[in-house]
């Protein structure tokens, strides 16, 4: 059992939890994820690590209540426990393999959509601590759904907030904000986008003419976290890859986003049924 030390609701339907997990905290790296189960017969939920504290022995997870299992996670409180937390899983972000002298002064652009701000945070924190120049764009539908703003502001060189309705920061999509930075004359050695699949698709279309190398995270397509179920299959550069074990990060210009979005809809009807049972107390 993994005890929840703290829980904070950081946006409507989105909670952040600090979980006691010393062994996971000791080996976690940016870009990796965990598998969480609420109960013994529960669904395996892949959640990207949004922070870790090796000294305190804790990992931080961010969950949006969008289905039966994620609602169960968000219903837990500090003092409760998760049945299982397995990890860290997945391949760490590529820049983890660089030496500090290679990161120093390197310019990064991070584009986060919605809950994607959570997995972006540990990457920005890691790079900023090693002297990289990091610009971050956080997108949300309105001001209430902007998350990790204060944390991100403390570890980046420039932060742009985008909202669909203009209730906070730049009014419009993250792609329009990214284009405005490029038009302003900002240059980047690398870009990273994490968020809804459709957002990452159009980020790739926006940045490709600039020839900035782009990495995207396909954490939303994962199911069991081991590659065994095959649900995380995705075509990258014309080849079949498994997001759970070969990712979750891939070259953003090589991903077949349309195929990935079709795959994500396979279990939609089953999820709706499970969520209904959860709401009426039968799950």
- For 8-27, write each residue's pLDDT tens digit: 999 999 999 999 999 999 99
Query: How many angstroms separate the CA atoms of 70 and 276, rounded?
Result: 13
pLDDT of residue 23: 93
| CA dihedral for 179, 181, 186, 188, sign (positive or negative) | negative
Q: How confident is the model at residue 232 (pLDDT cuts 50, 70, 90)?
A: confident
**Which domains are assigned to the chain?**
2-89 (2.40.30.10), 94-216 (3.40.50.80)
Handedness of CA 43, 49, 51, 56 (dihedral sign): positive
Q: In which band, very low, low, confident or very high, does the pLDDT at 66 lie, cut at 50, 70 and 90? A: confident
Give residue 269's pLDDT.
Answer: 55
Asked if residue 271 has pLDDT above 70, the reply is no
Range 115-149 burial, b when 16+ CB lie within 10 A, else e: bbbbbbbbbbbbbbebebbbbbbbbbeeeebbbbb
Q: Where are the beta strands (DSSP E) in 176-224?
A: 190-194, 214-217
Q: How confident is the model at residue 40 (pLDDT cuts 50, 70, 90)?
A: confident
Query: Could you give the CA distance from residue 21 to residue 32 in angstroms, rounded to a whole number?
Result: 15
Look at residues 109, 115, 254 and name the one whose alpha carbon lies nearest to residue 178.
109
User: Is the pLDDT assigned to residue 270 strictly greater than 60?
Assistant: no
DSSP type of residue 218? -
What are the phi and psi torsion angles at 120 (to 5°)? -70, -35
Q: Write down the residue that tokens 């991100």 correspond to.
A: 152
Q: What is the predicted pLDDT for the residue at 227?
A: 64
Q: Which two tokens stand for residue 168?
A: 């906070």
**Average pLDDT for the chain:** 89
- The first and second tokens of residue 13, run together, are 């339907």
Dihedral over Cα of 250, 113, 231, 255: its sign: negative
């Amino acid at each position: 059992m993994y005890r929840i030390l703290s829980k904070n609701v950081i946006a409507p339907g989105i909670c952040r939890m600090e979980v006691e997990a010393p062994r996971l905290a000791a080996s976690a790296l940016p870009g990796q994820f965990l598998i969480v189960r609420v109960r013994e017969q529960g669904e395996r939920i892949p959640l990207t690590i949004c922070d870790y504290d090796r000294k305190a022995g804790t990992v931080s997870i961010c969950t949006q209540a969008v289905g039966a299992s994620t609602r169960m996670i968000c219903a837990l409180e500090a003092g409760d426990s998760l049945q299982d937390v397995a990890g860290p899983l997945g391949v760490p972000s590529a820049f983890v393999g660089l030496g500090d002298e290679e990161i120093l002064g390197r310019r990064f652009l991070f584009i986060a959509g919605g809950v994607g701000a959570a997995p972006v945070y540990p990457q920005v924190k890691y790079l900023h601590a090693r002297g990289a120049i990091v610009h971050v764009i956080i997108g949300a539908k309105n001001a209430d759904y902007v998350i990790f703003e204060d944390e991100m502001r403390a570890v980046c060189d420039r932060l742009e907030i985008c909202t669909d309705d203009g209730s906070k920061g730049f009014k419009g999509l993250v792609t329009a904000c990214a284009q405005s930075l490029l038009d302003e004359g900002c240059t980047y050695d690398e870009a990273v986008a994490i968020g809804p699949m459709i957002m990452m698709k159009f980020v790739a279309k926006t940045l490709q003419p600039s020839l900035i190398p782009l990495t995207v995270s396909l954490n939303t397509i994962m199911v069991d976290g081991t590659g065994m179920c095959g649900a995380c299959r995705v075509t990258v550069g014309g080849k079949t890859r498994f997001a759970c074990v070969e990712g979750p990060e891939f070259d953003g210009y090589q991903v077949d986003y349309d195929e990935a979005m079709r795959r994500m809809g396979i279990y939609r009807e089953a999820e709706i049924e499970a969520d209904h049972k959860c709401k009426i107390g039968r799950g």
